[in-house]
Amino acid sequence: MLSYAAPLAGPDDPATAREVARSVNEFAAELVKNRPDRFGHFAVLPLPDVDGALAEAAHALDELDADGVLVLSNAHGRYLGDPAFEPLWAELDARSTVILVHPTAPPGPPLADVPLPLVDFPYDTTRAALHMTVRGVPRRYPRMRMILPHAGGFLPYAAQRFALAARLHTDATGDGGGTTPEDFLTDLRRFYFDTALDAYPNWEPGRLHAIDRGNAELLIPRPARTPVP
């Protein structure tokens, strides 16, 4: 599945971000068009520009036949539970869109001698998922199917601890409903995990403890692949 998991432009240049997103998505669509037996693609969206993201999502899903969309775990420091992003989630939910939440660097300077992908990326994946859950995004938009890469970051290992966040809010869902720790765990189970970089001895038990074992459908069925000659 082809995707572009990097910032599109600087934080003060939404016009360039829109332009790069369109160029990347059309390039990926052309690759898929040439080899549909081998490739699919997730379209990148130019967040935090919500209007640009809505326009690009419509173009990619309607015109380019994208299999879903990709958003970064934070958009120049703005996390995915930000109320400004609600129109995008509403549109993607209406389309039952598959959304890949790919990690990026969190705000602030990196720790010296610790490469970003080792700790900061799984940390930011987890931070984004928790922010969305605390703000009630998965509950309000249950038709969106959100994938957390790299086995879900740190989310599976500390799901019970994270569920205590429900006790810190009288209205954690953002919709007037409130929630309990068990409700919070139910919302965390709405996320799907991919299996990239998960081949570690202690990974499986934590993952199975956190996720809903019945929620294991194939998200994106595609034609059978032709074996590589």
Say yes or no to pLDDT of 197 above 60. Answer: yes
Query: What is d(CA 59, CA 217) in angstroms, rounded to the nearest whole number?
Result: 27
Domain boundaries, the chain: 14-210
The secondary structure of the chain, three-state, reads CECCCCCCCCCCCHHHHHHHHHHHHHHHHHHHHHCCCCCCEEEECCCCCHHHHHHHHHHHHHCCCCCEEEEECEECCEECCCHHHHHHHHHHHHCCCEEEEECCCCCCCCCCCCCHHHHHHHHHHHHHHHHHHHCCHHHHCCCCEEEEHHHHCCCHHHHHHHHHHHHHCCCCCCCCCCCCHHHHHHHHCCCEECCCCCCCCCHHHHHHHHCCCCCCCCCCCCCCCCCCC
Say yes or no to pLDDT of 220 above 60. Answer: no
The CATH code of domain 14-210 reads 3.20.20.140
User: Over the stretch 82-99, which tens digit does the pLDDT of each residue have?
Assistant: 999 999 999 999 999 999
User: Over the stretch 107-136, which tens digit does the pLDDT of each residue have?
Assistant: 988 888 888 888 899 999 999 999 999 999
Burial class (CB in 10 A: 0-12, 13-18, 19+), 137: buried
- pTM score: 0.84
